[in-house]
């Protein structure tokens, strides 16, 4: 693939393989668990990742997807998994040993939180410090001689806090540690963690990369030397690989990711500006708003597009919050994000996660994944729900 091509061209063409058997333009789905072993008698590495032997080691639809991911993110190699959580776990088990120390964003995905708060320390004696990684000084202060991994989620799910990837990469590398960045909330294209010094970029492909809400998936992208270690340990021996069919679905989603991120970002900015002006709203955090606490950092990191994710709260008691959710017609009450349709979830005051979020979140709030609908229609839905609740 010509590296000088523009992003949308790359998304369409990178990774595609020629079908010399029948001339099909679309990538076939290789629904095969086995591949023929060469008949030349050369030795076969049953655990090898560099040839097609068995679909857990390597398979064609995975390779297409991995190549597209690399072309779009500037990574050397990628490993794709059956879910975002499998991709995250692959990094943690590959690069952390018993007795090592990890620094982790205190605002992070629930499975990341649970792995580091409970399972990795209790079962494998990994030491962990959770810090507010939007505060670079706090990251610096947490570094120990045995720190081996700094794991940052940026923008953070659900607060959209932005961490300084360049500065934290420098801190990690000076300490002999790796920096992994879960960039799921931004999707690719809006942010390029690898170009800002991260060693590994991780996404739940279930969200923006697939984008159509019909497949789970996860990826890790980075230098070949690191990704090979992940494949050799976590992919082949833990086995959470992505099926050929889901790899094909996700690769099809990835083709339109540059176009979709543009639309998600433009619609979300208009919606965030509407929310910011509405008397019904207690606060809104969206990285593209000047009022966002790390807006300047988002401008430096985020490529002029700020994705479709925001968090906000309305005024009123718990009952009003429930009433608001029920009054929405176009926007669906559901937990995922990065889908073509707008999705919203409520974190009520009793959520055990709230203590780790900035104080303004402690009263409860909504996480809002703005879809690809027209901004006017989403705004009209929010406005009629505010009216139904007597908030405006």
Active-site residues: which are they? 56, 109, 182, 207
- Binder of ligand PLP out of 129, 157, 159, 263 (CB under 6 A): 157
CA nearest neighbour of 72 among 26, 13, 17, 151: 13
Pick the stretch among 126-134, 166-174, 178-186, 273-281 that binds ligand PLP (CB under 6 A).
178-186
User: Is residue 222 within the footprint of ligand PLP (CB under 6 A)?
Assistant: no
113, HSE (Cβ side, Cα atoms, 13 Å): 15
In terms of CB distance, is 180 or 206 closer to ligand PLP?
A: 206
Burial class (CB in 10 A: 0-12, 13-18, 19+), 376: exposed
Rounded Cα distance, 234 and 180, in Å: 16
Rounded Cα distance, 285 and 361, in Å: 10
User: Is residue 95 within the footprint of ligand PLP (CB under 6 A)?
Assistant: no
User: Is residue 218 within the footprint of ligand PLP (CB under 6 A)?
Assistant: yes
- Binder of ligand PLP out of 75, 84, 213, 244 (CB under 6 A): 84
In terms of CB distance, is 218 or 253 closer to ligand PLP?
A: 218
In terms of CB distance, is 48 or 240 closer to ligand PLP?
A: 240
Q: How far is the CB of 154 from ligand PLP (least distance, A)?
A: 10
Nearest-CB residue to ligand PLP? 84
User: Is residue 193 within the footprint of ligand PLP (CB under 6 A)?
Assistant: no
Contact 202, 111 (CB under 8 A): no
Pick the stretch among 31-39, 83-91, 187-195, 261-269 that binds ligand PLP (CB under 6 A).
83-91
In terms of CB distance, is 133 or 204 closer to ligand PLP?
A: 204
Total residues in contact with ligand PLP, by rule CB under 6 A: 14
What DSSP string describes 167-189? HHHHHHHHTT-EEEEE-TTT-TT
Q: How far is the CB of 261 from ligand PLP (least distance, A)?
A: 15
Whether the CA torsion 360, 361, 364, 365 is positive or negative: it is positive
Rounded Cα distance, 87 and 180, in Å: 11
User: Is residue 109 within the footprint of ligand PLP (CB under 6 A)?
Assistant: yes
In a 3-state reduction of DSSP, which class is residue 339? coil
Instruction: At 77, give phi and psi (nearest 5°).
Output: -150, 165
Rounded Cα distance, 389 and 214, in Å: 33
Q: How far is the CB of 87 from ligand PLP (least distance, A)?
A: 8
All residues at 6 or more sequence positions from 136 whose CB lies less than 8 Å from its CB, including other chains: 163, 164, 167, 168, 171
Q: How far is the CB of 102 from ligand PLP (least distance, A)?
A: 16
Burial 15-43 (b: 16+ CB within 10 A, else e): bbeeeeeeeeeebeebeeeebeeeeeeee
Q: Which of residues 227-286 bind ligand PLP (CB under 6 A)?
A: none
Rounded Cα distance, 269 and 288, in Å: 6
User: Is residue 83 within the footprint of ligand PLP (CB under 6 A)?
Assistant: yes
User: Is residue 85 within the footprint of ligand PLP (CB under 6 A)?
Assistant: yes
- Binder of ligand PLP out of 77, 100, 182, 199 (CB under 6 A): 182
Pick the stretch among 36-44, 172-180, 202-210, 315-323 that binds ligand PLP (CB under 6 A).
202-210
User: Is residue 311 within the footprint of ligand PLP (CB under 6 A)?
Assistant: no
User: Is residue 287 within the footprint of ligand PLP (CB under 6 A)?
Assistant: no
Which residue is associated with the tokens 């300490």?
175
In terms of CB distance, is 85 or 221 closer to ligand PLP?
A: 85
Residues of this chain that bind ligand PLP (CB under 6 A): 83-85, 109, 153, 157, 182, 184-185, 204, 206-207, 216, 218
């Amino acid at each position: 693939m010509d590296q000088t091509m523009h992003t949308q061209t790359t998304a369409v063409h990178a990774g595609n393989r020629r079908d010399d058997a029948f001339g099909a333009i679309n990538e076939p789905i290789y629904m095969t668990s086995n591949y023929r072993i060469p008949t030349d008698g050369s030795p076969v590495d049953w655990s090898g990742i560099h040839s097609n032997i068995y679909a857990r080691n390597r398979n064609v639809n995975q390779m297409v997807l991995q190549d597209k991911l690399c072309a779009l993110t500037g990574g050397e190699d990628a490993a794709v998994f059956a879910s975002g959580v499998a991709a995250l776990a692959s990094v943690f088990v590959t690069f952390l040993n018993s007795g090592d120390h990890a620094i982790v964003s205190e605002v992070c995905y629930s499975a990341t939180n649970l792995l580091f708060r409970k399972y990795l320390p209790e079962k494998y004696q990994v030491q962990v410090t959770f810090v507010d990684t939007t505060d670079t000084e706090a990251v610096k202060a947490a570094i120990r001689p045995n720190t081996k991994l700094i794991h940052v989620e940026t923008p953070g799910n659900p607060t959209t806090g932005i961490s300084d990837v360049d500065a934290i990469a420098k801190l990690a590398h000076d300490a002999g540690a790796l920096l992994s960045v879960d960039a799921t909330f931004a999707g690719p294209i809006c942010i390029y963690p690898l170009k800002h010094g991260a060693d590994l970029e991780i996404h739940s492909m279930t969200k923006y990369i697939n984008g159509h809400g019909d497949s789970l998936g996860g990826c890790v992208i980075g230098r070949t030397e690191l990704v090979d270690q992940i494949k050799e340990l976590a992919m082949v021996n833990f086995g959470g690989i992505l099926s050929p069919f889901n790899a094909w679905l996700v690769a099809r989603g990835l083709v339109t990711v540059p176009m979709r991120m543009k639309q998600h970002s433009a619609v979300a900015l208009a919606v965030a500006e509407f929310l910011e002006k509405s008397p019904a709203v207690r606060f809104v955090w969206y990285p593209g708003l000047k009022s966002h606490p790390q807006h300047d950092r988002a401008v430096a990191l985020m490529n002029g597009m700020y994705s479709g994710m925001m968090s906000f709260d309305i005024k009123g008691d718990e009952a009003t919050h429930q009433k608001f959710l029920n009054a929405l017609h176009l926007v669906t009450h559901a937990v995922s994000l990065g889908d073509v349709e707008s999705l919203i979830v409520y974190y009520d005051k009793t959520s055990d996660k709230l203590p780790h979020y900035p104080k303004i979140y402690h009263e409860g709030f909504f996480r809002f994944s703005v879809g690809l609908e027209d901004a006017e229609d989403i705004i009209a839905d929010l406005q009629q729900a505010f009216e139904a609740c007597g908030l405006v």
